[in-house]
Structure 1
Amino acid sequence: LDFKFPELEDLKRLKGEKVFADDKSKEFVRELFNAVAKEDNAKIAELMKQDTAKYLVYSTYAIQYISKITTTYGDYLDGTIYLNKFILSRYPQIILHKQGEPFESRFENVNSGYTGGIKMAVLEELIHSTQEKLHQMNKEAAMQVNKINEELAGIILELDTETVNMLAEYCQLQTVPDDFPFAKRANLFFFLNPDHFLIEQIGPDVMTFTHVEMDPKIKEAIPQLLDIYKRWLAPIQHHHAAFTAMEGMAGFAIENILKDDQDFQNYLTTFMGTDFSSYQVRKSMGKDFTKAVYEKLGSDTFKKIIEIPPNTRELKDPQLYLDKLSQ
C-alpha cells in the first residue's frame, strides 16, 4: 500500500480515474479531466464538439468531483492512498485565521484537530483499501450506468426541435432562447437522466424497485426512454449497494476506532463545529447496516460484507441480509 500527496492539478486528474467508463470512453474522460485540471477552456470546448453525448455525461462528474475537492481529504485507487495536499497543508492556517487572535493559545487545539482529521482520512482510505470485491462491483455497475447515460444523451441530441421544445415546456424546464438549441437539449438530458428523473420523481425508494413506469406523454415523445430506465435500474442498484456498503463500513470503523481519540474529538469541535454525540447520531444507511450486522457477527462483519455484498433491500433491512447468511 502506497501513500501519495498529489498537488491540486494531479488530484483533479486522479478524480478522472475514479470515473468508471468503458474503453471507448475512458480516454475521453482522461482528456476532459486533464483539460479541467489545466483550466484549458479551448480543450474543453473542443471535447464538447468532438463527442457531445460523452461530454454531457462526464462533465457532470467533473463538476461534482472538482466542486468537492476542498472537502476531500483523501482517496483510494489501485493500491494507493492519496491525501489532498492542497487542503490538508492549508487547513490549520484557515481554521486559525477563522478563529482569530490570539493564535498562539489556539494553536494546540487546532493542531490536535488537524491530526484528528488526518487520522480519520487515513483510516477511511485504509478501510477502502480492503474492499476490492466491492470496488469491482461498484466499478462494473458504474460503467453500465454511464454507458446507458451516453445512450440517452445520444437520443436526446438527435431529437427534432419541435419535440425538444414540447418536452421542455411540458417538463417545465428553465426557458432557453431559441438561439441555443444545444442548451435546450442539455437541459432536457439532465432532467430526463435517470439519476435525476427517477430519483426526483420516485425518491430513494427507486433503489429497491423492480420495475418503473413513466409519464405517457414523455414516453410517446421518446419511445426508447422506458427501456433505458428499465436497463438502468439493476446497475444503479448494484452501484448504490456497493458504494453504500463501502462508505458504511468506513463510517462505522471511524466511529468506533476513533470514538475515544482526543485528536478526533478536537477535529469535530474545531474543524467541523460539532461533537462526537452529534456525529454519532448522523443517519447513514450504510453505517446503520454495518452496525446491525456487527451486533450479530462481531469481528467477522467486514469480511462477510466484502465476501457476500448486500443488495439495496438488505441495506434497508439488515435482517434480510442476516437471514440470507444463515441459509
Structure 2
Amino acid sequence: MGEYDEFAEALFGQLSVELNEEKEIAKLAVKANEDLEDSMKFQRLEDITKSIFPDFKEKVEDFLGVKVADNLQVKFPELDELKKLKGDKVFADKEAKGFVTELFNAVAREDQKKIAELMQQDTAKYMVYSTYAIQYISKITTTYGDYLDSVIYLNKFILSRYPQIILHKQGGPYKSKFENVNSGYLGAVKMTVLEELIHSAQGNLQQINRAAAMEVNKINEELANIILSLDTQTANKLSEYCQLQVVPDDFPFAKKANLFFFLNPDHFLIEQIGPDVMTFTHVEIDPKIGKSIPQLLDIYKRWLVPIQQHHAAFTAMEGMAGFVIENLLKEDKDFQNYLTAFMGTDFSSYQIRKNMGKDFTKTVYEKFGKETFKKIIEIPPNTRELKDPQSYLKKLS
C-alpha cells in the first residue's frame, strides 16, 4: 500500500466512530419501525415543515424586523446528499472549489481510492480541506439543518429517524409515551426551521463570513505549499524541534502533513495562545521555527484579520439565532418537550447556557429592541466587541 493510500485509510479511521454511528442509526430506525404499531407512526418531515413554514417565516420577519426572501426553497437531503452539501459549505475560491466537491463526494461514497488520487493530484489542497471533511461530517448526526444560497436544508436522515428510535428506546408500553415524543419531534422541526429562517435573513453577515473563510483557506493553502517545498533536512530538524512523532524519510508526505497540521495557525496559535488570539492584533513565534520557515510569521499576521472576521460574523450569526429561538419558543410546549425527550435538559438549563454571541445579542437588544438585528447585520461587531458589548454600543451611539 502506498503512502497516499495509507493516508486515505487513516481518514476513514478518524471518521470510523461517526460512520459506525450512522449505520447504527439506520439499523435502529428499521428495528423501531418494525416494532411500533401503525397508530404510532410519526408525521412526515416534509408535511410538518410545509404546515409550519409560512407562520414561522412571518414570526421571524416580525421579530427581526428584517425581510425573509420569498424565493426560499426547502430541501430534505438524506445522508449522501447531506455529505455532499457539506462540501458546498466549505468556502473555497474557484481554483479549489472543484477539488473540495470531489473530495466530499469521495468521502460520501467512502471511496478510498479516489481520495488517494486527489491527495496525489494536489497535496496542499488535500491537507487544507480534508480537515473540513473530518470536522463537518463528524457533526452530521448532531446537525438538524443548514442554510446555503437561498435553500434551507433539513437533515432528513436524522429528523425522520430519531423520533422512532427515542420512542423505541424508552420501551413499552409505547402508546402512553408516543404523544410526548411526537411533541418533542415537532419541537425539533420547529427549532430547526426557525434557526435556518433566521440564517437566511442574515445577508451581510453571511457574505462577510463566506469571504473571510475563503481568505483563511487561501492562506492555509499557501502555508501547505511552503511546508511541502521544505527540503528533507529542514523538515526533519523542524519536526524534531516541535517534538512531532518520528516518521521515516520514505514517508515524506506524512512527515510534512504532520508539520502542516501542527503549524497550521488554526491549531498552532490557538493551542499556544488560546482563544484570546481572536482579539490580538499582533503575534510572535519561536525564532527557531521562524528561521526554518521565514514566511511563517507573515502568514500568521495575515491570517489574523480574516480569521477574526470569520469568527465574529459566525458568532454573531449563531448568537442571534440562539437569542431569537429562545424568545420565540420559550412558551412552546413542543420545544420544551424536545429539550426533555431529545436533549435530556429543560428550558431553564437551555436558557442559562453561556454563549458569547447570544449574550452579546441580548445586551444590544436591551438597548435597541427590534432595531438590534438590522444593526448587527449591517454593522457587524468585531471580536473585541463580542467580548465587550458596551464598546459595540458606544460605536453605534
**TM-score (structure 1 length as normaliser):** 0.97
User: For residue 159 of structure 1, what is the aligned residue in structure 2?
Assistant: 230
Give the match's secondary structure for 2:179: helix
Which piece of structure 1 moves more, 125-134 or 38-47? Answer: 38-47
Q: What displacement does 1:176 show?
A: 3.1
Q: What displacement does 1:102 show?
A: 2.3
Q: Does 1:197 align with 2:273?
A: no
From 300, 312, 316, give the equivalent of 2:383.
Answer: 312
CA distance in 1, matches of 2:186, 2:248: 52
What are structure 2's unaligned runs of at least 5 residues? 1-71
CA distance in 2, matches of 1:94, 1:167: 50
CA distance in 1, matches of 2:306, 2:168: 46
What letter is aligned with 1:25? A
CA distance in 1, matches of 2:394, 2:214: 31
Q: Does 1:260 align with 2:331?
A: yes
User: For residue 31 of structure 1, what is the aligned residue in structure 2?
Assistant: 102
Q: What displacement does 1:71 show?
A: 0.8
CA distance in 1, matches of 2:103, 2:139: 17
Q: What displacement does 1:53 show?
A: 0.1
Larger radius of gyration: 2
Give the match's secondary structure for 2:92: coil
- Once the two structures are superposed, the pairs formed by residues 222-261 of structure 1 within 5 Å of their partners are 222-261=293-332
**1:230-280 deviations in whole A, cap 9, x for unaligned?**
000000000001000000000101111111111111111111111111111
Rate the CA distance shift 1:164–1:100 in 2: closer, same or farther, 3 A.
Answer: farther
What letter is aligned with 2:390? Q
CA distance in 2, matches of 1:245, 1:178: 46
From 348, 351, 355, give the equivalent of 1:284.
Answer: 355
What are structure 1's unaligned runs of at least 5 residues? none
Q: What displacement does 1:166 show?
A: 2.0
What letter is aligned with 1:118? V
CA distance in 1, matches of 2:243, 2:190: 47
Q: Does 1:102 align with 2:173?
A: yes
Which piece of structure 1 moves more, 128-137 or 87-96? Answer: 87-96
Q: Does 1:269 align with 2:340?
A: yes
CA distance in 2, matches of 1:105, 1:43: 50
Rate the CA distance shift 1:310–1:102 in 2: closer, same or farther, 3 A.
Answer: same
Q: Does 1:115 align with 2:191?
A: no
Give the match's secondary structure for 1:82: strand
What letter is aligned with 1:63? I
CA distance in 1, matches of 2:169, 2:299: 49
Q: What displacement does 1:92 show?
A: 0.7
User: For residue 48 of structure 1, what is the aligned residue in structure 2?
Assistant: 119
Give the match's secondary structure for 2:302: helix
Q: CA RMSD in A?
A: 1.0
Q: Percent identity?
A: 81
What letter is aligned with 1:267? Y
CA distance in 2, matches of 1:102, 1:216: 67
User: For residue 170 of structure 1, what is the aligned residue in structure 2?
Assistant: 241
Q: Does 1:141 align with 2:212?
A: yes
Give the match's secondary structure for 2:131: helix
Q: What displacement does 1:72 show?
A: 0.9
Give the match's secondary structure for 1:62: helix
Which piece of structure 1 moves more, 154-163 or 285-294? Answer: 154-163
